[in-house]
């Protein structure tokens, strides 16, 4: 009986290994096909050529800080993939029996915006990883963050920070207040849920999470947080 169990265990391990290898190979192929059709530099230039593209140094300083704090606080330390975030996502997904958590970094999200669909498949996630590594080899962290901010979806048909700021606040992003920065930074996580024109109460709750993340990462003090939320 023990030999039977050992044989079954070995067979199960083999199946898992072959499945993982298969997904890895398919993900690599998806990545290669994507970048062969549209090169990394070409895809990046398409984003930069869009109307309203806003360089990082023209944004209020708090906005990119808020994005990193709430979305990917180890952004400046990882190489495009965050093992800690992936481990956390795997644990959550195992507990819930879903793919609710992705563990994607800002670089992976940029890769998805440039090349892939929103469909939650392991093959696509692997392709994202290869593309993220490619982006990290070619561009600085600030360039990647700038591209992300200018390409992410903010709900209500708004893509990129300029379109979102004009659409929600009627102003260019250079003119956003700290209150508006923290409100908008929380939207891309779930645009259909956190768009301030759709669910103002949920948008405010998400804004509180953004502000708390800024406090946790030492970007602002608790007093500054209270002033921001009060619109001061």
Residues 6+ apart with CB under 8 A from 158: 164, 167, 168
Q: Output the 3-class SS for the chain.
A: CHHHHHHHHHHHHHHHHHHHHHHHHHHHHHHHHHHHHCCHHHHHHHHHCCCCCCCHHHCCCHHHHHHHHHHCCCCCCCCCCCHHHHHHHHHHHHHHCCCCCCCCCHHHHHHHHHHCCCCCCHHHHHHHHHHHHHHHHHCCHHHHHHHHHCCCECCCCCECHHHHHHHHHCCCHHHCCHHHHHHHHCHHHCHHHHCCCCCHHHHHHHHHHHHHHHHHCCCCCHHHHHHHHCCC
* Cα–Cα nearest to 206, from 182, 171, 181, 232: 182
Give pLDDT, residue 101: 54
Give 153-232's CATH code, choosing from 1.10.10.10, 3.40.640.10, 1.10.3810.10, 3.40.309.10: 1.10.3810.10
Per-residue pLDDT of 35-48, as tens digits, reads 999 999 999 999 99
Q: Comparing 1-15, 137-151, 198-212, which segment has the lowest mean pLDDT?
A: 1-15
Give pLDDT, residue 217: 96
Per-residue pLDDT of 198-230, as tens digits, reads 999 999 999 999 999 999 999 999 999 999 999
Q: How many residues are recorded in the chain?
A: 232
Report residue 94's pLDDT band, with 50, 70 and 90 as the boundaries: low
Domain with CATH 1.10.3810.10 in the chain: 153-232
Report residue 83's pLDDT band, with 50, 70 and 90 as the boundaries: confident
Give pLDDT, residue 89: 59
Give pLDDT, residue 92: 58
The predicted model gives 58-62 an average pLDDT of 97
Distance of alpha carbon 130 from alpha carbon 51, whole angstroms: 29
Distance of alpha carbon 39 from alpha carbon 229, whole angstroms: 42
Give pLDDT, residue 177: 97
Whether residue 34 is predicted with pLDDT greater than 80 in this model: the reply is yes
pLDDT-above-90 percentage for the chain: 72
Q: Comparing 18-22, 137-141, 159-163, 216-220, which segment has the lowest mean pLDDT?
A: 18-22
Give pLDDT, residue 180: 98
Whether residue 13 is predicted with pLDDT greater than 50 in this model: the reply is no
Report residue 96's pLDDT band, with 50, 70 and 90 as the boundaries: low
Give pLDDT, residue 84: 81
Helix axis angle, 40-48 relative to 106-115, nearest 10°?
90
Report residue 107's pLDDT band, with 50, 70 and 90 as the boundaries: very high
Whether residue 11 is predicted with pLDDT greater than 80 in this model: the reply is no
Report residue 116's pLDDT band, with 50, 70 and 90 as the boundaries: confident
- Based on its alpha-carbon atoms, the radius of gyration of the chain, rounded to whole angstroms, reads 20
């Amino acid at each position: 009986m023990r030999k039977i169990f050992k044989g079954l265990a070995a067979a199960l391990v083999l199946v898992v290994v072959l499945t993982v290898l298969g997904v890895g190979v398919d993900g690599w192929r998806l990545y290669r096909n994507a970048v062969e059709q549209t090169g990394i530099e070409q895809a990046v230039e398409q984003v930069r050529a869009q109307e309203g593209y806003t360089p990082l140094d023209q944004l209020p300083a708090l906005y990119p800080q808020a994005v990193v704090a709430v979305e990917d606080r180890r952004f400046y330390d990882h190489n495009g993939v965050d093992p800690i975030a992936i481990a956390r996502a795997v644990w959550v997904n195992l507990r819930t029996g879903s793919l609710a958590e992705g563990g994607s970094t800002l670089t992976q999200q940029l890769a998805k915006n440039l090349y892939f669909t929103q469909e939650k498949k392991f093959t696509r996630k692997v392709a994202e990883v290869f593309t993220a590594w490619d982006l990290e080899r070619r561009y600085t962290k600030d360039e990647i963050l700038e591209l992300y901010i200018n390409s992410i979806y903010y709900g209500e048909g708004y893509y990129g920070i300029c379109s979102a700021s004009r659409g929600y606040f009627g102003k260019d992003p250079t003119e956003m207040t700290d209150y508006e920065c923290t409100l908008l930074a929380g939207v891309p996580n779930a645009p259909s849920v956190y768009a301030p024109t759709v669910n103002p109460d949920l948008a405010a709750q998400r804004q509180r999470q953004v502000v708390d993340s800024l406090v946790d990462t030492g970007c602002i003090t608790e007093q500054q947080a209270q002033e921001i939320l009060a619109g001061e």
